[in-house]
Amino acid sequence: MTTITAARRARPRTQLRAGLLFLLPSAVLIGVFVIYPIANSLWMSLHDWTFFQTTHEFVGPANYLELLGDPRFWNALGNTAVFTLATVPAQIILGLLLAVRLSRARWWTSLMRSVFFFPVISSFATMAIVWKFVLSADVGPTAAWLRGAGIQPIDWLHTPNLALGAIIMVGLWKNIGFTMVILIAALQDVPESLNEAAVLDGAGPWGRFRNVTLPSIRQALLFASIIAVIASLQVFDQVYVMTGGGPLFRTETLVTYMYEQGFGQYRSGYAAAIAWALFLLIAIVSAFQLRIFRYRDVD
Amino acid sequence: MHAKKLLAAVAVTATVALGIAGCAPSGDGSDGDVVTLTYWSGFTGGDRQAYEDLIQKFNDEHENIQIDYQLQPWDSIAQKLPTAIAAGSGPDLATPDYNVATIQQYASNGLALPLDDLIGDGDTQVGEGILPETVTDSFSLDGKLYAAPANYATLLLYYNKDLLDAAGVEVPTTMEELQAAAVTLSDGNGQYGFAIPDNATIPNWPVLIWADGGDLIQDGCSALGSDATVGTVETWAGLIRDDKISPIGATGQEAQDLFAAGKTAFQINGPWAAGAFTEAGINFDVAPVPVGASGSPVTLASTVPTIVSATTKHPKEAQEFLAWWLSKETQAQLSTAAAYAPSRTDMADDPAITSNPTVAAFAAEVPNARLYLPTEMDFSKIDVDIFTPAIQSATQNGNAAEALAAADGQLNELLGC
């Protein structure tokens, strides 16, 4: 008896120690490559930190105060907000429509799912270069066909009022597949019994969708929308490649502004402040989303 | 059981740590008598072969100094170089940026070595006064030289001979002729007369402004609001908006692509573009930038500085390489291979230069060439936040006078005028 109890008491402790030791390599990696840079960037944001200097002056909240009065920051924030508000609902709704259409396994649904998912896994920078070429009003296949047909092509990327629309469209093209895949998986889990019960109660397709399907996939919808919002607030790739933030800063987003300040003007401290402002924004928005979806409630 | 698990965990940590250590850049090489210098270069463009060939030549000719030439994209170098140098683990030589004013940052922060051994009468030195004054002025801080030119380019007016011949247009020699020609050669439907890029480009607009006697900065204060500057921008913006001589908001690459596609008759560009145009089969030639209201020929000079790291262990050998790079023989080969003007002022009659008409054309403009914002530490802010938006506003919205007045105020505030 003593031996067994002693062994039982000993096992958790050695397991704990062994477990911690096995965590050590990952912890070291995360500490060095994730936690340290994050803490360092907060430190940088409190200094007047130019890339080339070897000593830096502590200025406290000065960078953040400068942000508040910086018209380019507010412009970037506005553009980022417009981009997010335009992309996320569209992404969820279109992704849901696709998921519903493609949730049943026919011979062609597999192919179509791959077609829509392919942009998600492709290299965004490369795809953005291709899109830039396609949308060009001067050199590119679309321009050639349109001019050949006597139509003046629209210069999407160089027209201040249209450039953000092009950025939004490319963003949607890239990410709809991701939402679709998540929702397809969620749709498979909708209990068929509920659907049958609804049919017996006389519910039509829309009624079933509204009262059975949607509530059942609520968790997945929440997940997809939170991921979509977080990703949209950090939009960078297609803006950097397609418009560089122009024309006249009309497509400049928080991350492209941060990149330009940090690596174009070498103002590392200010760029770090922008990064933390973005972090704050994402945290607030995500908390809000979780609240309104009543995440804690379990159906 | 304890020992095995402990050993396993430690082994994994050690492997990971070794892996991380393996990512650190290797220190400099000094293998016996052979000194190896690491050189981070940003010349990844169409002319890269010319540079690589010359590095190979140096390595072949020098037994005791070898160059480890590492090509990287410009923004990669910009991100890594300052910290690498400060940490003592950076390259011995580097081209920090294609923007000249970056040198001021490197020099004032003690990251670049003063090139005291470079200028002199010795065999492994460059003579006094050989380098162009514009170059030595902009590469110096407090009287000390901190960089050597890796190349020296001027801009010329490229023109499409077929398009000009078909429309019966002569090669323009004045800005007014260029403006008229550009209008004639534009059809308002995708065929442009003179594509003028305003962002992500070798600067074009400053050349147009200088030609008419205007400027961005004069005597330390903003000249953006001067009559000459405003008048020039208004004229060209009007032609772009009303006569569609150029696309609006084009990048340098887009303008270059238009010329390569035969969709613009004129384009101001540097020697690096000639190869792309030849490959595209365009029947082109180059002419000096037309003379404007100032009455004097003027064009843009572009030079890429090479620095020696302040923390290099081989300052003497690094400067010896730079002196070799600036020697007549090397400059002649570089000019022939990449059509750059030599970085020396004493090679105007050199047969290597005069025998090649394209090279001779670019080299002939060296005395008329000016650098863009060469000594402004805030050049990036001036270009991105003040000058380019004003030009873009003038061409997008047609409000040149307003936009330049606002930019004038901002620039004066920045310069403390």
Domain ranges in chain B?
Answer: 33-154+302-370, 156-300+373-415
A294 φ, ψ (degrees, to nearest 5): 50, 60
A116 φ, ψ (degrees, to nearest 5): -75, -25
Nearest residue of B to residue A27, measured between CA atoms = B13
* Residue A223 burial (CB count, 10 A): 17
Q: What percent of chain B has pLDDT over 70?
A: 94
Which residues does chain A have within 8 Å of residue B384's beta carbon, measured at their own beta carbons? 260, 264-265
Q: Which of residues 234-263 of A touch B (CB under 8 A)?
A: 244, 246-249, 260, 263
A36 touches chain B (CB under 8 A): no
Task: Identify residue B289 by its one-letter amino acid code.
Answer: V
pLDDT in tens, chain A (299 residues): 555 565 555 567 888 999 999 999 999 999 999 999 999 999 999 999 887 776 788 999 999 999 999 999 999 999 999 999 999 999 999 999 999 989 888 888 989 999 999 999 999 999 999 999 999 998 889 998 998 898 889 999 999 999 999 999 999 999 999 999 999 999 988 888 888 888 888 888 888 888 888 888 988 999 999 999 999 999 999 999 999 988 999 999 999 999 999 888 889 999 999 999 999 999 999 999 888 877 555 54
Residue A246's SS3 state is coil
CB burial string B139-169: b at 16+ within 10 A, e below: bbbeeebbbbbbbbbbbbbbbbeebbeeeeb
Strands B93-94 and B299-308: antiparallel
pTM, rounded to two decimals: 0.83
Residue among A18, A155, A263 whose CB faces B5 most closely:
A18
The band of B18, judged by pLDDT with boundaries at 50, 70 and 90, is low
pLDDT of residue A46: 95
Residue B125's SS3 state is coil
**Is pLDDT of B172 > 50?**
yes
Query: What pLDDT digit, counting tens, does each position of B68-99 carry?
Result: 999 998 878 888 898 899 888 999 999 998 88
DSSP collapsed to 3 states, B335-378? HHHHCCECCCCCCCCCHHHHCCHHHHHHHHCHHHEECCCCCCCC
pLDDT of residue B358: 84
Strands of B63-128, DSSP E: 65-71, 93-94
Which residues does chain B have within 8 Å of residue A24's beta carbon, measured at their own beta carbons? 9, 12-13
Interface touch B6/A265, C-beta < 8 Å: no
Mean pLDDT of B254-282: 92
A139 touches chain B (CB under 8 A): yes
Query: What pLDDT digit, counting tens, does each position of B29-62 carry?
Result: 555 689 999 999 998 876 788 899 999 999 999 9
ipTM score: 0.81
pLDDT of residue A8: 58
* Residue B235 burial (CB count, 10 A): 17
pLDDT of residue B22: 55
pLDDT of residue B27: 47
Residue B107's SS3 state is helix
Tokens representing B244 are 């569609």
Which residues does chain B have within 8 Å of residue A152's beta carbon, measured at their own beta carbons? 189
* Greater pLDDT, B79 or B144: B144
CATH topology of domain B33-154+302-370: D-Maltodextrin-Binding Protein; domain 2 (3.40.190)
Euclidean distance between CA atoms A162 and A25, whole angstroms? 49
List domains and CATH numbers for chain A: 2-45 (no CATH), 72-292 (1.10.3720.10)
Query: What pLDDT digit, counting tens, does each position of B378-401 carry?
Result: 888 999 999 999 999 999 999 999
- CB-side neighbour CA atoms (13 Å) of A204: 1
Interface touch B190/A147, C-beta < 8 Å: yes
- Give, in degrees to the nearest 5, the angle at Cα A66 between A64 and A68: 75
Based on DSSP, count helices (H) and strands (E) in chain B, helices before strands: 18, 15
Q: Which of residues 212-231 of B touch A (CB under 8 A)?
A: none
Euclidean distance between CA atoms A228 and B66, whole angstroms? 52
Euclidean distance between CA atoms A227 and A177, whole angstroms? 13
Euclidean distance between CA atoms B307 and A37, whole angstroms? 29
Do the two domains B33-154+302-370 and B156-300+373-415 of this chain adopt the same fold? Answer: yes
Nearest Cα to A255, choosing from A56, A77, A65?
A: A77
Which residues does chain B have within 8 Å of residue A50's beta carbon, measured at their own beta carbons? 105
Torsion, Cα of B171, B174, B180, B184 (10° steps): 10
pLDDT of residue A299: 47
B257 touches chain A (CB under 8 A): yes
Rounded alpha-carbon distances, angstroms, from residue A262 to A41, A257, A258: 12, 8, 6
B188 touches chain A (CB under 8 A): no
CATH topology of domain B156-300+373-415: D-Maltodextrin-Binding Protein; domain 2 (3.40.190)
How far does B159 lie from chain A, in Å, by closest CA? Answer: 19
Which residues does chain A have within 8 Å of residue B247's beta carbon, measured at their own beta carbons? 137-138, 155, 158
